[in-house]
C-alpha cells in the first residue's frame, strides 16, 4: 500500500466549521437542561413546603399567627427583588448571576432545612427568596440570548414553560412524598445537592457572557422605590387574605405600594440609566404578554389550592395521594407546550394564546361543576387536562412575545419583569380567591358550627351540609378563575398582534454570546 493511500487529507475548513457548529448546538441544549433545572428549583420551592409546613410548625414550635411567614418570607423577598436581580444580570453577566443564585440558593436551603427555631427557618426562607430573585431572571435571559434561531427558541421556551407551569404541581407531589416518607426538612435540604449539581453544570456548559450594559452608574432611586413598592404590594395581598381588604394595615400597604410604584415610573422616565427602561413594557404586544403573565397565575392558584382541599378533605386523599392526583397537570402542560412550540413559527403567537385561553375557560367551567358525588376520573382529570393544556399553549407564546426583539442589554430586566408579573399574579390569586371562598362559605347555611360538649372543639352542625358548603365555595372560586381566563382571552384578542412572519429569525436583532 502506497504512502499516498495511507495518509488521509486534512478535512476541509467547511467540514471543521460544521463540526464546531454541531458541537456548539449540542452544548446549547445541554445548557438548557441546566437552566431548566435551576428554574425548576425556584418554582418547586413555592409549593413544596406547603404540605411540610404543619410538621415544621410542630418541630420548631411556630405559632399559628406566625406560620404564614414560611411562605410570605419567600414570596415577599422574591417578588420585591426580581427587577433588581434582572438588571444585575445585565450589568454583571447572566452566567455569573446564575452561579451566584445557585450557590446562594443551595446555602439558604440548607439554613432553612437545618433550622433550629422559627427565626432561622424564616430567615432561611427569606434568603431563598433573595437568591431566587437573582436566579430566575438570569435563567430566562440566558435562553433569550443563547437561542436566537426561531424554531430553536420556540423549543427552548417550550421546555422552560413546561418547567414553570408544571413545577408547582410537581412540588406538591415531591413535598407529600418527602414529608410522608422521610422528613419535612428534606423538602428544603433536597435543593442543596440539586443546586450544587446545577452550578457544576453551569460552569461546564453555559457559555460565558460579558455584561451587556456599560455601567455608567446605578439607578439607586429606581431600585429603592421598585423594591419597597413591590414588597408592599405583595405583602398587601398577603395581609388582605389574613385580616381583610378594608383593614388599616392592608389599605396602608396598598397606598404605599401605589405611591412608590408611581414614583418608580416617574424616575424611570427621567433616568439616564434606568432600572427598567419603559420601552420594554411600552410595546403593545409585549405589554399584552406582561399582562398575561399577571393574569394567568390567578386561576392556576385557584386550581392548586382549592382542588387540593377538595381531594384531601372531601375525597379523603392522603397528602401524597393528592399530589399524585395532580400528575396529569404537569404532563398536559408539557404536551401542550411542545405543540405550541411547533405551531409558533408557523402561525405566530396569537392563535396559541387565544386557543389556550379558551381551553382554560372550558376547563374551569367544567371544574366548577364539582359536587359531593364527583370523582377524580369523571370531573377532576378532564378539567386538569383542559386547564393545563391551555396554560401550556399560553406560556410558550407569552414568553416568546414578552422577549421578542428585546436587545441583549435588556434581556435580564425584561425576564425579571415577566417573572414579577407571575409573582404578583400568584399573590393576587392567593389573597383574592381565599377571601372570596371564605366569604361564600360563611354565608352558606351549611357552614353553621356548634361546640362538641365532650371535647369542647367546634364541629359542624350537619357534616353533610358542611361538606356541601365547602365544595360550593370552591366552585365559586373556579368560576372566578374562568373569568380571569376570559380576561386573558380579551388581552390576547386585543393586544397580541404579532404574526408568524414577525417572529422570524431574530439573528439580526440579537448578539451571539461569545463561545
In whole angstroms, what is the distance from residue 146 CA to residue 510 CA?
9
Structural domain containing residue 483:
28-218+273-448+455-509
Sign of CA dihedral 296, 300, 425, 250: positive
The pLDDT, as a whole number, for residue 3 is: 43
For 258-269, the pLDDT digits (tens) are 999 999 999 988
pLDDT in tens, 26-60: 777 888 888 888 888 887 777 777 777 778 888 88
pLDDT of residue 364: 96
Query: For the chain, percent helix, then strand, then coil, each to nearest 5?
Result: 80, 0, 20
Q: How far apart are CA 496 and CA 347, in angstroms?
A: 13
Q: What does pLDDT average to over the chain?
A: 81
Mean pLDDT lowest among 349-363, 397-411, 480-494: 397-411
Secondary structure in 3-state letters for 62-91: CCCCCCCHHHHHHHHHHHHHHHHHHHHHHH
Q: pLDDT-derived band of residue 65, with 50, 70 and 90 as boundaries?
A: low
- Give the per-residue pLDDT at 208: 72
Nearest residue to 112 (alpha-carbon basis) of 100, 102, 127: 127
pLDDT at 259: 95
pLDDT band at 359 (very low <50, low <70, confident <90, very high): very high
Give the Å distances, CA to CA, from 167 to 41, 72, 319, 404: 8, 19, 17, 24
Task: Yes or no: say if 85 and 403 are a contact pair by the CB < 8 Å rule.
Answer: no
Paired strand residues for 459? 450
State pTM to two decimals.
Answer: 0.78
**Is there a domain that residue 23 lies in?**
no
Do the domain assignments include residue 515? no
Most confident residue range from 116-125, 369-378, 419-428:
116-125
pLDDT of res. 19: 44
Residue 224 covered by a domain: no
Highest averaged pLDDT of the listed ranges 43-57, 412-426, 467-481: 467-481
* Residue 255 covered by a domain: no
Residue 188: closest CA among 240, 73, 110, 261: 110
User: How confident is residue 271, by pLDDT bands cut at 50, 70 and 90?
Assistant: confident
On the CB side of 71, how many CA atoms lie within 13 Å of its CA? 24
DSSP letters spanning 413-479: HHHHHHHHHHHHHHHHHHHHHHHHHHHHHHHSGGG-EEE-TTT--EEESSHHHHHHHHHHHHHHHHH
Tell whether 161 is covered by a domain: yes
What is the structure's pLDDT at 64?
A: 63
- Angle among Cα 186, 191, 197 to the nearest 5 degrees reads 130
**pLDDT tops 90 at residue 1:** no
> Of 128-132, 195-199, 273-277, 450-454, which gets the smallest average pLDDT?
450-454
pLDDT digits (tens, 9 = 90+) for 205-242: 887 766 655 555 667 888 889 888 888 888 888 788 77
Strand partners, 301: none
Residue 277: CATH number of its domain: 1.20.1250.20
Q: How do residues 478-505 score in pLDDT, each as one tens digit?
A: 999 999 999 999 999 999 888 877 665 4
CA distances from 355 to 28, 49, 138, 393, 395 (A): 30, 33, 30, 7, 12
| Residue 370 and residue 474 in contact, taking contact as beta carbons nearer than 8 Å | yes
| 406 within 8 A of 506, measured Cβ to Cβ | no
Stretch 459-467: mean pLDDT: 81
Percent of the chain at pLDDT above 90?
23
Residue 261 belongs to some domain of the structure? no
Domain for residue 230, yes or no?
no
Is 80 exceeded by the pLDDT of residue 254?
A: yes
Would the pLDDT of 25 be above 80? no
Q: How far is CA 116 from CA 120, 121, 184, 290, 362, in A?
A: 6, 7, 13, 40, 47
Q: How many folded domains does the chain comprise? A: 1
> How far apart are alpha carbons 368 and 360 in whole angstroms?
12
Residue 16 placed within a domain: no
Residue 71 burial (C-beta neighbours within 10 Å; 0-12, 13-18, 19+)? middle
Question: pLDDT grade, residue 5 (50/70/90)?
Answer: very low
> Residue 294 is inside which H or E element, if any?
helix 284-295
> How far is C-alpha 313 from the geometric centre of its chain's CA atoms?
26
Amino acid at each position: 500500500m502506497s504512502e499516498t493511500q495511507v495518509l488521509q487529507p486534512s478535512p476541509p475548513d467547511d467540514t471543521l466549521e460544521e463540526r464546531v457548529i454541531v458541537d456548539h448546538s449540542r452544548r446549547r441544549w445541554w445548557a438548557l437542561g441546566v437552566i431548566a433545572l435551576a428554574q425548576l428549583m425556584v418554582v418547586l420551592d413555592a409549593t413544596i413546603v406547603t404540605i411540610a409546613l404543619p410538621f415544621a410548625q410542630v418541630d420548631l414550635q411556630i405559632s399559628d399567627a406566625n406560620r404564614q411567614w414560611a411562605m410570605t418570607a419567600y414570596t415577599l423577598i422574591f417578588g420585591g427583588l426580581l427587577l433588581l436581580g434582572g438588571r444585575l444580570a445585565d450589568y454583571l453577566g447572566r452566567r455569573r448571576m446564575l452561579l451566584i443564585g445557585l450557590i446562594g440558593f443551595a446555602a439558604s436551603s440548607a439554613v432553612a432545612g437545618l433550622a433550629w427555631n422559627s427565626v432561622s427557618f424564616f430567615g432561611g426562607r427569606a434568603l431563598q427568596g433573595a437568591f431566587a430573585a437573582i436566579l430566575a431572571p438570569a435563567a430566562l435571559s440566558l435562553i433569550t440570548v443563547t437561542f436566537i434561531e426561531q424554531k430553536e427558541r420556540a423549543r427552548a421556551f417550550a421546555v422552560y414553560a413546561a418547567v414553570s407551569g408544571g413545577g408547582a404541581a410537581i412540588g406538591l407531589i415531591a413535598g407529600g412524598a418527602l414529608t410522608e416518607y422521610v422528613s419535612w426538612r428534606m423538602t428544603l435540604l433536597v435543593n442543596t445537592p440539586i443546586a450544587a449539581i446545577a452550578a457544576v453544570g453551569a460552569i461546564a456548559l453555559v457559555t460565558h457572557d460579558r455584561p451587556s450594559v456599560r455601567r455608567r452608574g446605578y439607578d439607586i432611586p429606581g431600585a429603592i422605590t421598585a423594591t419597597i413598592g413591590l414588597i408592599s404590594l405583595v405583602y398587601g395581598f398577603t395581609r388582605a387574605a389574613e385580616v381583610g381588604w378594608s383593614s388599616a394595615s392592608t389599605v396602608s400597604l396598598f397606598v404605599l405600594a401605589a405611591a412608590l410604584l408611581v414614583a418608580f415610573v416617574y424616575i424611570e422616565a427621567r433616568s439616564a440609566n434606568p432600572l427598567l427602561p419603559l420601552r420594554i413594557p411600552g410595546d403593545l404586544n409585549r405589554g399584552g404578554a406582561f399582562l398575561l403573565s399577571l393574569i394567568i397565575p390567578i386561576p392556576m392558584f385557584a386550581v392548586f389550592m382549592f382542588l387540593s382541599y377538595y381531594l384531601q378533605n372531601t375525597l379523603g386523599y392522603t397528602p401524597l395521594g393528592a399530589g399524585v392526583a395532580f400528575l396529569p397537570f404537569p404532563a398536559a402542560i408539557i404536551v401542550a407546550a411542545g405543540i405550541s412550540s411547533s405551531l409558533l413559527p408557523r402561525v405566530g403567537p396569537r392563535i396559541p394564546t387565544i386557543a389556550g385561553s379558551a381551553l382554560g375557560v372550558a376547563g374551569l367551567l367544567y371544574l366548577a361543576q364539582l359536587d359531593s358525588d364527583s370523582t377524580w376520573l369523571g370531573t377532576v382529570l378532564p378539567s386538569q387536562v383542559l386547564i393545563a393544556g391551555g396554560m401550556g399553549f399560553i406560556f410558550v407564546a407569552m414568553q416568546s412575545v414578552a422577549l421578542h426583539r428585546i436587545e441583549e442589554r435588556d434581556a435580564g430586566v425584561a425576564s425579571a419583569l415577566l417573572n414579577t408579573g407571575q409573582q404578583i399574579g400568584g399573590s393576587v390569586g392567593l389573597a383574592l380567591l381565599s377571601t372570596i371562598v371564605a366569604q361564600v362559605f360563611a354565608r352558606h347555611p351549611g357552614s353553621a358550627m356548634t361546640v362538641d360538649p365532650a371535647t369542647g372543639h367546634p364541629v359542624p352542625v350537619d357534616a353533610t351540609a358542611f361538606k356541601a358548603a365547602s365544595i360550593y365555595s370552591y366552585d365559586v372560586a373556579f368560576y372566578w378563575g374562568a373569568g380571569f381566563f376570559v380576561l386573558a382571552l380579551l388581552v390576547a384578542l386585543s393586544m397580541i398582534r404579532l404574526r408568524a412572519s414577525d417572529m422570524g429569525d431574530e439573528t439580526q436583532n440579537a448578539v451571539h454570546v461569545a463561545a
